[in-house]
Amino acid sequence: MAQAGLHSLISMPLRKFSLAREGLMLGVVVGSMLPDADNLAVAVATVTKASFQGLHRTFSHSLFTVIAVIAVFYLVSLVTKRASWNNLGLGLGLGILLHSLVDIFLWFDGVAILWPIPVFLNLWNKIPPPDWWTTLMQPVELLFFALFFWSLYTLARKQASDLGYLGKLRLWIAVETALFVIFLILAYVLSSGFLTIFGVVYLLSLGLAIGIAIRMRATIESNNQSLAA
């Protein structure tokens, strides 16, 4: 299962190195989570009983997708005459690239880094993960979302940004933590149907995490006090 929450946590330290460019760091954080939205395509294929072969870690993890995203947002910036669109596109591209690299070096599944060229890069193909690890890492993803929200919460308090949203953010931290505990139990109790239920909750949590990142843009980019327009 995807680990978008972990990817969002990995992207946050890059704030220290981001330039004073509006939209750049927001793009990195959102872009680091977006590739795992391909699980929505997998879910649709599963529900419609279609083949989901080639839907996960393919088009959303490709270098060509990175180039396409950057190019599209660059064109938008030219049309609108707003550099922030170009910055956002660069950030999204960097986030997607970071996500793909982390998957290649720290995960057990292959990545079609050159999709549509059908070549999967898998550095761990000779080291299959044990069953207990595969089962555990599914509910742990919800814990990663909670930790991502907590990192935003502590950062916002430290920087006095998005203070009006922190009450709701505390609620979402509690919700994701509770879901982690519930699904940790269900992962080892349910004999069937777990992946279907968990998949729905995961996709909703992913959408929530992306929405919260956008809502807390001021916090994510708060070290860029002299944002360029």
Q: What are the residue boundaries of the structural domains of the chain, listed by start? A: 4-220
Residue 229's pLDDT is: 36
Residue 1's pLDDT is: 46
d(CA 18, CA 16) in angstroms, rounded, equals 6
pTM for this one? 0.89
Place of tokens 């083949």: 51
What tens-digit pLDDT sequence spans the chain (229 residues)? 457 888 999 999 888 876 668 899 999 999 999 998 877 766 665 555 554 555 567 788 899 999 999 999 999 999 999 989 999 999 999 999 999 999 888 876 778 889 888 888 887 777 777 888 888 888 999 999 999 999 999 999 999 999 999 999 999 999 999 999 999 999 988 877 788 888 889 999 999 999 999 999 999 988 644 443 3
Residue 226's pLDDT is: 40
Burial status of residue 66 (CB atoms within 10 A of its CB: 0-12, 13-18, 19 or more)? buried
